Amino acid sequence: MKKIICSLIAVSFAVLVSAQNRTADYMKKIPALPRDSCNVSKAGAESFKTQVSSLEEQLKGEIDNLNETVDQHMKSNEGAAQERAMKQMSQQYGLSQADIEKLKNKNLSAAEKQEIADKMMQQQTNMSMGEVKNLSKMSDAGKKAYAEAYATEAMAVNQADPQQKAKNDAAKSQYDMVSSQQAINSKISAIGQKIAALYSPIESDPERQKMLDRMDVWHNKIMSMTGIDYGQGKQMDSLAVLIKNEKIAYCKKYTPKYRAALRKHLEILKTSLPDYQSLGNITAEVTKTRTGIEMPAEGTEIPALQAIDGYLTALQDAYKYKLHFPEDDN
């Protein structure tokens, strides 16, 4: 029996370590940014893109599997979660089993809904719906006096009723947890905006589009002369040189900017991984508090893995501004 227990502990520890190392493993697998993205052969550029794309495909599959694991786990515990939610509602709002059954009825009448709402309000705040309506009609001075009296009464109730205090403490704990989740979500959103701001100035640079437009015009002129021999060969050659030089200039102008953005992106990713992990952890805690369901440990890594995927998407475009290759001259 002792051997079985030790074996189970070993397996559980291995699963936990695996979950904790998944993010670190993918960070180690990220290919280094090439030293020079303008002086590269077409084969070299394609090889690098394939390398990054392959890793990203593997990572996307990992994320999909993790999401599926979490979804299946939640679905398999759905019944228990519903029962827990009903029990919590019953305890928090003082609802009877008959009231709970009524709430499950989609065809509940307006009067029945009002009755249950009044009971929930009375249990939670010691105020009836009628008192709430009257409160809205009070003057500011009246509302202040009522609030002070209500706070005094609530304090007395908490002191006299430990169970009520426990309910209030539990509600505050859940509120604090949700607030923490919202705070980390806001931080993650700000990180995303910061990363997007690294690339947007390059894409929105009007001069970049002008260079592309000029190349298109020259290319269209060449195409219009193709197949017609009126001694325009030299003009076509001149246009081809213009396009080649513009492509080289295009790479030299925008590739260094994109490489700088990639380096900064990776730096932000590394420093932000604890925030992404915190998001996964707090989401699991909120889920457990609300449903009673313990999320699989590996599911907490999903936000961090998605952040890595975002960097890989950008990295595979390291050569996106490289439009001319040495092979094109042959």
User: Is residue 205 within 8 Å of residue 250, measured between CB atoms?
Assistant: no
pLDDT in tens, the chain (330 residues): 444 334 433 433 333 444 458 999 999 999 999 888 899 999 999 999 999 999 999 999 999 999 999 888 878 766 665 566 555 555 555 556 665 555 555 566 666 656 655 655 555 545 454 554 554 555 555 545 555 555 555 555 555 555 555 555 555 566 677 788 889 999 999 999 999 999 999 999 999 999 999 999 999 998 888 766 666 778 888 999 999 999 999 999 999 999 999 999 999 999 999 999 999 999 888 888 777 778 888 899 999 999 999 999 999 999 999 999 988 776
Q: Calculate ∠ Cα 278-186-65, nearest 5°.
A: 50
Closest listed residue to residue 37, CA positions, set 28, 46, 25: 46
Residue 114 tokens read as: 């009002």
Output the pLDDT for position 174.
Answer: 63
Output the pLDDT for position 305.
Answer: 97
DSSP state string for 17-46: HHHHHHHHHHHHHSPPPPS-SSS--HHHHH
Output the pLDDT for position 249.
Answer: 97
Q: 């599911």: which residue's tokens? A: 299
In the DSSP assignment, the letter for residue 320 is: T
Residue 133: count of CB within 10 angstroms of its CB: 9
**Exposure of 45 in the CB half-sphere (CA atoms within 13 A):** 18
Phi, psi (degrees; rounded to nearest 5) at 109: -75, 160
Helix (H, G, I), strand (E, B) or coil at 16: helix
Distances (CA, A) of 313 to 41, 139, 289: 21, 59, 35
The sign of the torsion formed by the CA atoms of 151, 155, 156, 162 equals positive
DSSP state string for 97-111: HHHHHHHH-TT--HH
Q: What is d(CA 77, CA 82) in angstroms, rounded to the nearest whole number?
A: 9
Q: What is d(CA 320, CA 255) in angstroms, rounded to the nearest whole number?
A: 8
4-43: burial string, b at 16+ Cβ within 10 Å, e else: eeeeeeeeeeeeeeebeebbeebeeebeeebeebbebeee
Helix (H, G, I), strand (E, B) or coil at 282: helix
Distances (CA, A) of 116 to 86, 122, 239, 321: 14, 10, 80, 64
Output the pLDDT for position 287.
Answer: 80
Helix (H, G, I), strand (E, B) or coil at 205: coil
pTM of the model: 0.70
